[in-house]
Structure 1
Amino acid sequence: MLVHCLTLRFTESASAADVEAFRDAIARLPSQVDFHLRTRQGPDLGERATNADYAVISEFANAEDFRRYLVHPAHLAVPRDHVESAHSVQFLVAETD
């Protein structure tokens, strides 16, 4: 399994509705693609001042599905107008029972 971790900061002008639109678009992604995709997401809890504002964790069956995701129209349609910066990392996890 490939895990994609995304952290981002929203612009200061981002409203609650802007963040909600981003969240909703991410939540819809698994039903819009034709490969396995599991997402988890949420706002930072504010435990550290240097943290990002928001995180998205996405799980894919393999690297090929992740590459397909990057160019998928549903992924490209996620609203990013109010994203100031984003950082990501991908890593492989062996699935165990």
Structure 2
Amino acid sequence: MIINNLLLKLKDRDRENIDKARDVLLSMQGKIEYLHDLKVETNIRHGASSYDIILITQFASMEDFDAYLVHPVHMEVSTYIAGVLETGAAVCYEKK
């Protein structure tokens, strides 16, 4: 199982923008066959060094993860996120 964690800090960090970004990320649910699980959580403790959202995705293999990255639904979501993102960080690992 491949698990990818993506931390997102938005340019405009108000609740409305965070909720909109969360909804856009959640819109991938059930639309990408390679995506086994998707969770989106928002930070409840804000600070200068904190991130606003964590996206946790799970895939059966690295090949499925690679296919997800170029899937049209993911590409559309990525375009939106790139427009509102200040900075991000990712950790991808294999869970055995």
TM over 0.5: yes
Deviation >4 Å, runs of 4+ = none
Contact 1:30–1:37 (CA under 8 A) maintained in structure 2: no
Residue of structure 1 in register with 2:7 after alignment: 7
Once the 2 structures are TM-superposed, how far is the Cα of residue 48 of structure 1 from its aligned partner? 6.0
Residue of structure 2 in register with 1:37 after alignment: 36
The share of aligned pairs that are identical, in percent, is: 24
Say whether residues 1:18 and 2:17 are aligned partners: yes
Once the 2 structures are TM-superposed, how far is the Cα of residue 49 of structure 1 from its aligned partner? 4.9
Calculate the TM-score normalised by the size of structure 1. 0.82
Calculate the TM-score normalised by the size of structure 2. 0.82
The answer to which of 64-73 and 37-46 deviates more is 37-46
Max Rg structure? 1
Residue of structure 1 in register with 2:84 after alignment: 82
Paired letter, 2:49: T
SS of 2:23's equivalent in the other structure is: helix
Contact 1:2–1:91 (CA under 8 A) maintained in structure 2: yes
Once the 2 structures are TM-superposed, how far is the Cα of residue 23 of structure 1 from its aligned partner? 1.5
- Structure 1: where are the runs of 5+ without partners? none
The alignment covers a number of residue pairs equal to 93
Paired letter, 2:88: A
Give the Cα–Cα distance (whole angstroms) in 2 for the partners of residues 17 and 74 of structure 1: 23
Residue of structure 2 in register with 1:91 after alignment: 93
Deviations, residues 39-78 of structure 1 (Å, cap 9, x unaligned): 1111112176522111111111111110011111111111
